[in-house]
Amino acid sequence: MTVLESQTVGAYSGSGSILLEGVRKAYGSTVALDGLSIEIPAGEKFALIGPNGAGKSTTLKLLVGLLRQDAGTISIMGHPPTSMEAKKMLGYLPEDASPYATLSVRENLEYVGALRGVEQLRDRIDKMLSELTLAEYERSKVGKLSRGNRQKLAVALALIHQPRVVLLDEPLNYLDIPTQERVVQMLDRLNATILVSTHIMSIAERLTDGAIVIARGRKVWSGSMGELQAQAQPSESIESVVVRLMTGAG
């Protein structure tokens, strides 16, 4: 399929470049997603917010085709998550990402970059190492890195091929504040559709256009970050607004 054709397919399926409709997913008797519907327009950056166990990681794993839903439909730019078209567009940072421990930082990037067919790979790797202040560790084996530096590498691996659709599961875990800031700025500059799961509101506020709040596998609120902020009382934190929205989930 040509680029033009795939764009046509994406446009044809509606405005949502990331689309879930009535998605249900259970692990045995545990219902993780209970009829979840989400739509993220192409080019927008959204946060997926919710407490532990809300279903954030499950949602992202379904979107990258690592899991299959029990019911409902999912598409990425009009393509099923398991399709070649979707795989090519996606960049995914899993929860507890683990780069290849026996390879060095640079070797990891070379390997994944080559698999992804990245052009001018050496320049691209140099740029990412410098942006994430990883250059001094480029020859270190991943097994010897601190958890924070391993997370930085995992972020770089998810973005090395400049994906059009970026799915990040708690990307700022293990990162110190200056590095969090650097990653947020890097994501901010990306020209991509982004869905980032987090339970840290300040990330959502700084990074994203919109927010989707989920609890117990259901959507309890969605809208722009500004609308979410507007729901706060004068002295109320955004966190407590989200708690209020979540506890109203029933």
Residues making contact with ligand ADP (CB under 6 A):
27, 30, 32, 50, 52-58
Tell me whether strands 218-224 and 193-198 are parallel, antiparallel or unpaired. unpaired
Q: Which of the listed partners (Mg ion, ligand ADP, none) does 14 bind, with a CB threshold of 5 to 8 Å by partner kind?
A: none
Q: Which is nearer to ligand ADP, 56 or 124 (CB)?
A: 56
Q: How far apart, in Å, are the Cα atoms of 89 and each of 21, 59, 82, 130, 165?
A: 20, 17, 11, 24, 6
Q: How far is the CB of 170 from Mg ion (least distance, A)?
A: 6
Residue 203 and residue 56 in contact, taking contact as beta carbons nearer than 8 Å: no
Smallest gap from residue 217 Cβ to Mg ion (A)? 13
To the nearest whole angstrom, how small is the minimum distance from the Cβ of residue 131 to Mg ion? 26
* Chain CA centroid to CA 111, Å: 22
CA distance 179 to 172: 8
| CB of 55 or CB of 91, closer to ligand ADP | 55
d(CA 242, CA 214): 10
Identity of the residue, 92 or 137, whose beta carbon is nearer to ligand ADP in the bound complex? 92
* Structure-token pair, residue 117: 């067919």
Q: How far is the CB of 167 from Mg ion (least distance, A)?
A: 12
Q: Give the residues lining the site for Mg ion (CB under 5 A).
A: 56-57, 95
Q: Which does 191 bind (CB under 5 to 8 A by kind): Mg ion, ligand ADP, none?
A: none
